[in-house]
Amino acid sequence: MSTCSNCYNGCTEIVSDRCVKYTGIDVPVLGIKTGDSLSFVEQALITFLVSTLDGSGVIIDLSSISVCTVVQKYLPTCKDLSIADISKALIQAACDLQEQVTLNTNAIATLNADYTIGCLTGVTTSSDTHVIVQAVINKLCTVVTDLADLTVELHTMYSSNGTQLNNYIASYLAGLPSTNSASARMVPYCPIAYYGPLSGFPTPADSLNLVGQGTGYWNKVYLCNGASPGIPDLRGRVIVGTTVMGNNTFPSQTDPCGACTACANPRYDLGTVAGSNCVTLTINEIPNHTHVNTMDTTVTVNDPEHSHTTSFGDPQDANMSGSSRTWVNTGSGVTYPTSSNPTGITVDVVTNITNAAVGGGDAHLNIQPVIALHYIMYIP
């Protein structure tokens, strides 16, 4: 390798870019000035090109223009703005705008969905929102006109002070069920048990009167005492389900088949009344049983006087003056038969059999264990 005298940068390799001197004009934007080595110029150019390509080296001054907030919020505030910074801010702002557009599009689609038009006229369920709104405005205007006409009509037909109309309104409101009444909490025509006072509850003016009709809080509620039309008399009675509720298949305990057994469950129609507080047993209802008897027997024997006549042959009266006679056997070893006569004996036998009488023949109680409650029912 040869030596170089007066060589630039003391280079001995004259082909090296470090040994070639830049003699052009100064370029401040690139940091190049006359006398720089070619290698320095090359590096300055490469750096500039790279920063230009990726945008980091292109600085833009936005101070002279107005930047909207949707872009401004994405721009950095602590350094000069490069074209890359501005590009990123623009992209993010565009994404935000697209999201808003999508939301608005969906909202418009919702507003333009099919409507339930009800009493509106001149529109269909698929009419545009603007058309629907206009139809609503038209309907409201019609209602306003109708109300104005009604005001004139009411003033013409009713007294000027509104007393008659007020009475109609009061009558209508009185017919509405009150949420502060017992009936508002009751099922119509359904007797329910009530264990509480019949008067003075919940206020002194509220009561269920002697005929069973309620007042105040108890309005349209009745005692189930049979005193009012359509009200069952449940005084002293137990409620039982009817046997005519649609299903004709019964368990054995409640089958109302009267021909089956004497103890079959009765047939209960709506309002059927049955049962008794006391029951007197009949002969057929008494269990099969025996009694111990006491027997008293009396025997009387009556034997009147009687006589027998015996023939032995010829009698010889040895003592004709006496009552006795002597009979002489005229034969030797001969036996003579005796004639027989009934004795006339009478025997009377009397037997008395007495069964001791037990029981008074009274009815017995037929009451299950109970507790008494009031029954009330709401009639609309």
Q: Cα(371)–Cα(195) distance, rounded to whole angstroms? A: 10
| Mean per-residue pLDDT, 119-134 | 87
Counting residues of the chain whose pLDDT is more than 90, the rounded percentage is 12
pLDDT of residue 176: 65
- 216 Ramachandran zone, left/alpha/beta (phi>0; psi -120 to 50): left
pLDDT of residue 334: 45
pLDDT of residue 319: 44
Contact 364, 278 (CB under 8 A): yes
Contact 241, 272 (CB under 8 A): no
- Sorting pLDDT into bands at 50, 70 and 90, what band is 191? very high
Task: Tell whether the model's pLDDT for residue 340 goes beyond 60.
Answer: no
What pLDDT digit, counting tens, does each position of 132-187 carry? 889 999 999 999 999 888 887 777 766 555 667 677 777 777 766 566 788 888 89
| Mean per-residue pLDDT, 313-332 | 48
Predicted TM-score of the model (pTM): 0.39
| Mean per-residue pLDDT, 203-213 | 84
Contact 12, 4 (CB under 8 A): yes
What's the sign of the alpha-carbon dihedral 231, 232, 238, 242? negative
Q: Cα(41)–Cα(314) distance, rounded to whole angstroms? A: 213
Task: Tell me which residue has tokens 């350094």.
Answer: 79
Task: Tell whether the model's pLDDT for residue 316 goes beyond 80.
Answer: no
What pLDDT digit, counting tens, does each position of 42-55 carry? 888 888 888 777 77
pLDDT of residue 12: 61
- Sorting pLDDT into bands at 50, 70 and 90, what band is 318? very low
Q: Cα(307)–Cα(341) distance, rounded to whole angstroms? A: 8
Phi first, then psi, for residue 96 (nearest 5°) are: -60, -45
Find the DSSP H helices in 19-162: 38-54, 69-72, 83-111, 129-157
| Mean per-residue pLDDT, 20-45 | 87
- Give the angle subtended at the CA of 225 by the CAs of 224 and 230, to the nearest 5°: 65
What pLDDT digit, counting tens, does each position of 2-26 carry? 555 666 666 666 556 677 788 888 9
What's the sign of the alpha-carbon dihedral 23, 25, 27, 28? positive
pLDDT of residue 375: 92
pLDDT of residue 3: 57
What pLDDT digit, counting tens, does each position of 215-225 carry? 888 999 999 99
